[in-house]
């Protein structure tokens, strides 16, 4: 399965994937280098993920996208009425919905777009799991298997243990933020397996439909032959 992993970060969603050919896209060069070190078999491209999706979406079987979440986060509402922080007011970044609409209408494969629960009602209904929204063209199964929610005050070491990453050797200014931005690996695995199950289910459905069509055609042919036979017998009797 060829997978496009957009806004890849350090690869929290990708950590437990297997039997995949992954192209990861990350704009931050330093983060991309950490990802490449953690997943040396993946192709890592340092570029704008939004544009890369538009230019290359047809090359993949499954697309994961995690657009930046700060402009959608419920943390924005904490600043409500704080006139001194006007510079922090931002429009929600509509690239999120651009990608959902685009993939839903033009992509023939399977996709999942992830973001945090927003401070406004979502414009397109997602699947809600934990503190995240997921928009996909398949049903995400085993939602109850997902690990408990990561608390906002969880420390760096605890995050490392929980997510299974050790970033001690990397010289990055805010390693805790890198970990906080990760989708939990178990959730990433559940979603990929759900997509694979959907592919198998779709194939099975196609086979069943084909069999039913064959049976219907056989039935119609049999009825037609019987009708012709009865007509011939009536003509003979006349």
Q: What is the pLDDT of residues 37-93, one digit of tens each?
A: 999 999 999 999 999 999 999 999 999 999 988 777 877 777 665 555 555 678 889
Kindly indicate the confidence band of residue 207, based on its pLDDT and cuts at 50, 70 and 90: very low
Model confidence at 161: pLDDT above 70: yes
> In this predicted structure, what is the pLDDT of residue 209?
45
* Residues 134 and 111 sit within 8 Å (Cβ to Cβ): no
Sheet holding 132-136, edge to edge: 43-45, 21-25, 2-6, 62-65, 110-116, 132-136, 127-129
Region 181-185: what's the mean pLDDT? 93
For residues 236 and 210, give the distance between their C-alpha atoms in angstroms, rounded to a whole number.
39
* Residues 166 and 34 sit within 8 Å (Cβ to Cβ): no
> In this predicted structure, what is the pLDDT of residue 203?
40
Closest CA to 97 of 74, 80, 121: 121
Kindly indicate the confidence band of residue 211, based on its pLDDT and cuts at 50, 70 and 90: low
Largest Cα–Cα separation, the chain: 101
For residues 22 and 17, give the distance between their C-alpha atoms in angstroms, rounded to a whole number.
10
Domains and CATH numbers, the chain: 2-190 (3.40.50)
pTM, two decimals, is 0.78
């Amino acid at each position: 399965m060829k997978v496009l992993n957009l806004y890849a970060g350090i690869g929290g969603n990708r950590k437990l994937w297997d039997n995949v050919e992954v192209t990861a896209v990350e704009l931050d060069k330093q983060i991309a280098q950490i990802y490449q070190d953690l997943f040396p078999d993946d192709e890592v491209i340092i570029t704008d993920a939004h544009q890369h999706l538009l230019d290359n979406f047809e090359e993949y079987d499954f697309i994961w996208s995690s657009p930046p979440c700060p402009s959608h986060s419920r943390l924005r509402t904490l600043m409500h009425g704080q006139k001194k922080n006007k510079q922090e007011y931002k429009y929600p970044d509509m690239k999120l919905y651009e990608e959902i609409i685009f993939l839903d209408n033009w992509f023939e494969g399977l996709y999942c777009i992830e973001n945090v629960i927003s401070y406004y009602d979502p414009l397109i209904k997602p699947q809600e799991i934990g503190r995240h929204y997921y928009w996909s063209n398949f049903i995400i199964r085993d939602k109850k298997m997902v690990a408990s929610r990561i608390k906002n005050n969880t420390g760096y070491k605890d995050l490392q243990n929980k997510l299974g990453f050790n970033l001690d050797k990397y010289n990055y200014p805010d390693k805790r933020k890198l970990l906080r931005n990760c989708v939990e690996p178990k959730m990433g695995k559940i979603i990929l397996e759900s997509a694979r199950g959907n592919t198998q289910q779709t194939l099975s459905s196609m086979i069943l439909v084909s069999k039913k069509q064959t049976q219907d055609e056989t039935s119609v042919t049999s009825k037609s032959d019987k009708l012709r036979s009865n007509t011939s017998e009536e003509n003979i009797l006349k």
